[in-house]
Amino acid sequence: RQLGLSPRNAMQCAERLYLAGYVSYPRTESSAFAESFDARTALQPLANGAVCADAVRDLLAGSSAPRARTDGVDAGDHPPITPVRAATRGTLRGDEWRVYEYIVQHFVACVSADARISVASAQLELGGERFALAAQSTLDAGFLRVM
């Protein structure tokens, strides 16, 4: 829905991407990665790609290894869809590019740190009137950097 594609059209695009070697097998309901999944190795081909390359390079340069989420659903059939090769707008077009871009963004977000946001609020009464104020500040954008 986020891409404005029907499920059928999105799956057809994902299957073409799979057959062309850009993404892993797309027919899965799994959203949890295995503990043994090597996120660093999976990220390396994307470091010079056209989608999220800066975020990927930052993850690869970090002192701690990027970790894929293991807290989703494991349908037992295949791991979650992951990009396996970098692409550019010149190599993919139209809906295939949009689906590929979404897959890369989602994957990079899955191996990124959680976002950290500070929230503050205050309430006061002045002259019989009540006032409330709320503010938030992003301390670390984490996965929000790529979504």
Asked if residue 58 lies in contact with residue 95, where contact means CB atoms within 8 angstroms, the answer is no
Helix (H) or strand (E) holding 97: helix 94-110
Catalytic residue among 18, 25, 100, 102: 25
d(CA 27, CA 89): 24
CA 99 to each of CA 31, 56, 87, 139, 141: distance values in angstroms, whole numbers, following the listed order? 17, 18, 12, 30, 24
* 100 given a catalytic annotation: no
Residues taking part in catalysis:
25
